[in-house]
Each structure stands twice: as C-alpha cells, then as structure tokens.
Amino acid sequence: MYGKIGSLFTGLVAASALLVPVGAPSHAAGSARAFSPATESARAPALVSPGAVSRLKWKACAGENLPEGIRCATVTVPVDWRKPRGRKITLDLARLPATDPANRIGSVLQIPGGPGAEGVTDLKESAPGLTELRRRFDLVGYNPRNTRIRERLPAVCSEMGPQLLEPRDREEYRVLAARLEAAARECRDADSSGLFDNLDSLSVARDMEAVRKALGERRLSFMANSYGGVPAAAYARLFPERVRAMYLDGAADQVNGWSDLALAQAPAGERMFGRFTSWCAADSACALHGEDAGAVWRALTEKLDRSPIPISSPEFGEGKLTGWHLRMLGFLANPGPDNAAWAAFATAVDKARNGDGSGFGEFVIGNMRVWTIPALRAITCPDDRGFTGYAQFRDVSRRMREASPNLGAAPFDMLTCAGWPRPVANPSRPLPVRGLPPFLGAGSWSDYTMTASLAGTVPGSVTVRYDGPGHVLYMPGNGGPASRCVIGHATRYLVDLTLPALGTVCRPGE
C-alpha cells in the first residue's frame, strides 16, 4: 500500500523481489533492507531485567562511513506500558547534534515507516541531505520496538501461511479467518516475553515519549515517514502538548480508518494507471503499443478471475495468479528511470495474457504469503487494520471497483487481520481539536491523498502536493526523490513554524 513496502518485511524475508512490483528500478529494492543473514546477526533491541533505568549514554556508533558527529545510545522502556515495573526492552537511538549550537531550537525525532524500518539506519543514510535542518536541531533517529521482529519473537511467529486468495463467499472468509487466528494464537502462546501483545503503534508512541524525556526536551518536532504517520497520530492523541511541529511525509492515515483511506486513494490510482496507458500509446518501448493497453489489462484481470494461471517463486513456492492479485499488486505507479518500470510491467502483462505469469510470480506469491506471518500481523492488526467481517470486505471490494475499474480491490493487508484474536489496541479515532500545532504534510501522486487526509484532521494544516512519482520526499536515503522544493518548505516549517500557502505544488526538478 505504501511505496517503501520493503520496510514492512524488515527482518522477515530474504528476497528483495518482494519489495517492489514488477519492473521497479533496482535502487528501490536496495532501499528496502530486507532480511538477510547480515541483518539477522545484528543486535536486536534486547529484553532486560525489570527495574532497568533509562539513561542516555552517548557513545560512538558502530559501522563504517558514518556521518561526522553522529553518536548512539539506547533507551529502556517497558514491554507493556500498563506494567511499567515489568519486563523491559531497549531501543537504539542515534543523534546528529546541531551544527550551530548557539541557535539550537531543540530536537527533531524522525519516525520511520514500514512498520519495521530502522530510524537509526535512516538517519545515517540521510545525513547528507539534512545539513540545513541540522544547523538548528539535533536530529534523532530511533529503532521502534517493531524492528527486527524475527529476532525477538519465537520462530513459529515468522512462519508463512499458504498464498492469500480472495474469499468468494462467507464460508471461504470464515475458513481464512480461522486459519489466520490459529496461527496468531500459536505465536502468542509461544511468546514468553509479552512482546506479541505490545507491538501496536500506541505502545510505540509511548516509547517516543520516553525518548523525549530521555533527551530532556520539553517538546519535540517530528518527521513522520510513511507508516510512521500511525505512531505519529497516536503520539499526537496522547501527548498533544509535547508536539512543537509535525511534518508528515507520505504518511499513512489511520485516523480516518483504513477502508476509508483505501477508498479515498482509489481515484489517485486510476489517474496513475491513466498516465501509464497514455505513455504506452505514445512510446513504442511499451509491449502493448498500438493496442488499447487499458482494455488489454481489464480483459486479462477478468480472465484470470475466471481462470487463474500458475505462478512460482524459488523463495516462496507455487501459487496462482488471479485478477484480484493483479489489481492490488501488479501495477507500479512509479515509471522508473526512462520509464523502465512501466516497460517491464507492459511486458509482464503481454506474457500473462499468453499464459505466462512469471513477470508477476515472485512479487505476488511473496506478498500473499509474507502478509500471513503472525509477527507482521501483530504489528498491523492492533492498529485497527482489519475488516469487521465478510460483509464489510464485500462492500469495500464493490466500492473500490466502482472507484477504480482498473485497480480497485479491497486491500489484502486488511484481509490478513481476519480472525485476529486480540482486542484492537490502537483504534482509529480523531485527533484532539485543541492543543496541537498545525501540521505540514507532503505527498506525491501515490500518497498525497492519505497524507492530506491525516494532516487535514488538525485545523490550519497544509499539505504540499508533489506533482510526480515517489514516496518520502525529504530524506534522500529513504526511497524518495528528495524534492528540493518539498525540503525547503519542510525545513522552513520545522525551523520557523511557517506554513506554505494552501494549494502549494512542487514539481520534479524544483
């Protein structure tokens, strides 16, 4: 659902092919930092004995080619915030101190996306593009409790289920829900740490408050990327008086509900698909050039809904390719350099209509299995991500098809929360009307709608529209195009609390 989809699988899978749809440029896969033996052996936030005291002791960071001046520390927080004297967990922090300390304003805490992305790594990689902001702020990155989750829960919690298929009736939905519930219960029963029950964004927000206190700041300024919008909103609900400024970059809107978000995003997806068909009509590099690419696509998805074709993955096994899968996952909004991603997508469509689904196999099977992993669902489902039942699933499916004939489908990630056996810890709720400053958002073709939806819940907020592809526009190491125009507006806002005018647009190259 979000451009930097790879961070959703950090510590869970071993194939970067999962991270980007067919034809995506290689730099996008590289930015995802999927699970590998190297990351598996890296230190995960550890469970420590009760009574541990959280104090920041800054020291040299591990690694090579580090930004000048960066220092690292850890902060200790309860596994379960309802039991503050219970078992603890440590979270990694990194800080780039302000380069103009005489005019230092405070600290900016970067909230990484994913969920599962590592804020410490993001800060290290993004430092060259943060020079201006760093003049006035200490820049702080942290690794939330949901990073490297494979290392911190029992092995059964990382086991994938069969490929996810669209339930065609109530009985198929019931069977799917029962299977997913059983896997979640098995994971929870095996987890003696209590972490399984405390991976929600409300717990992450309380961790962020512990970071603020450990830093000694009265208030914090925030940069929330992608799924980081969910803990950002949770923090704003809990601690509005501690928010100095909130910059939302391609941020997920959980406040207004996941199904409403999907429906609001659907027209944007249809417009992006229209850009692809226009390119295909004009460029002979498109394998469908000279045909009605939209009609070819619709015929293919309808055919595959009736008669799926086999697909396979060396990593994830055998599976089926249906029209439902393609509408959800097949199309990539970002054309890539020289439209290479769109060219690869068109070639994959051409092959699929002739019975060869190999262009989509790895990505579809991988996503449809990875999203069944209990450890991942323990992060997303407590954030109110599921359907209320089969009736809502069918209703959202119908409305999505109406809003986007080419790409409309009920979000499969919401479907994986069917049968979730625990209460929703972080329900979708409005933000406080009072006590929060106006937010600044920024979003591209694919994520402007959701970012504006979240920012718009706070009176006086503004969202800059980036008229181009991409996801995450400020931090250049985080998968986005590093828009200078967006960076300028965001830096002014964070420094001076000055918002751009309503309707501000940034374009590629500006």
- Does 5 have pLDDT greater than 80? no
Predicted local distance difference test score (pLDDT) of residue 486: 95
Mean pLDDT of 461-489: 84
Predicted local distance difference test score (pLDDT) of residue 390: 96
- Does 17 have pLDDT greater than 60? no
- Does 34 have pLDDT greater than 90? no
pLDDT tens digits, 215-242: 999 999 999 999 999 999 999 999 999 9
> Largest alpha-carbon pair distance within the chain?
70
φ, ψ (nearest 5 deg) of residue 393: -55, -45
Predicted local distance difference test score (pLDDT) of residue 51: 44
- Does 50 have pLDDT greater than 80? no
Predicted local distance difference test score (pLDDT) of residue 99: 97
Higher pLDDT, 45 or 348: 348
Higher pLDDT, 35 or 137: 137
DSSP state of 289: T
Element counts in the chain: helices (H) and strands (E): 18, 13
Mean pLDDT of 34-44: 31
- Does 105 have pLDDT greater than 90? yes
Percent of all residues in the chain with a pLDDT value above 90, rounded to a whole number: 73
What residue type is 94 in one-letter code?
A: A
477/90 Cα distance (integer angstroms): 25
Which residue bears the tokens 């293919």? 300
Sign of CA dihedral 140, 146, 149, 153: positive
Higher pLDDT, 18 or 123: 123
Predicted local distance difference test score (pLDDT) of residue 21: 36
pLDDT tens digits, 174-193: 999 999 999 999 999 999 99
The model's confidence at residue 133, banded by pLDDT at 50, 70 and 90, is: very high
Please state, as a whole number, how many other Cβ atoms lie within 10 Å of the Cβ of residue 42: 12
Predicted local distance difference test score (pLDDT) of residue 35: 24
Which of 2-6, 93-97, 178-182, 366-370 is predicted least confidently? Answer: 2-6
- Does 13 have pLDDT greater than 70? no
Q: Of 451, 467, 496, 91, nearest to 256 (Cα)?
A: 451
* Measured CA distances, 155 to 11, 251, 289, 414 (Å): 12, 31, 48, 24
- Does 12 have pLDDT greater than 60? no
Mean pLDDT of 126-145: 95
Q: Which residues contact 420 (CB under 8 A, 6 or more apart)?
A: 180, 181, 184, 377, 381, 382, 386
Query: Mind listing the domains of the chain with CATH numbers?
Result: 94-151+200-255+431-506 (3.40.50.1820), 258-383+385-415 (no CATH)
Mean pLDDT of 437-444: 96
Peptide bond into 115 cis (omega under 30): yes
Q: Which of 62-71, 99-108, 424-433 has maximum average pLDDT?
A: 99-108
388/430 Cα distance (integer angstroms): 19
Q: Of 140, 138, 139, 147, nearest to 118 (Cα)?
A: 147
φ, ψ (nearest 5 deg) of residue 90: -105, 140
- Does 42 have pLDDT greater than 90? no
- Does 372 have pLDDT greater than 60? yes
378/391 Cα distance (integer angstroms): 23
The model's confidence at residue 150, banded by pLDDT at 50, 70 and 90, is: confident
Residue 295, Cβ density class (10 Å: 0-12 exposed, 13-18 middle, ≥19 buried): exposed
pLDDT tens digits, 309-353: 999 999 999 999 999 999 988 898 788 889 999 999 999 999 999
Predicted local distance difference test score (pLDDT) of residue 333: 79
Q: What is the mean pLDDT of the chain?
A: 87
pLDDT tens digits, 238-291: 999 999 999 999 999 999 888 888 888 888 889 999 999 999 999 999 999 999
Tally of CA atoms within 13 A in the half-sphere of 278 that contains its CB: 7
Percent of all residues in the chain with a pLDDT value above 70, rounded to a whole number: 88
- Does 297 have pLDDT greater than 50? yes
The model's confidence at residue 79, banded by pLDDT at 50, 70 and 90, is: very high
Predicted local distance difference test score (pLDDT) of residue 111: 96
Q: Which residues contact 70 (CB under 8 A, 6 or more apart)?
A: 61, 94, 95, 96, 123, 124, 127
Q: Which residues face 137 on adjacent strands?
A: 106
Which residue bears the tokens 């995506």? 24
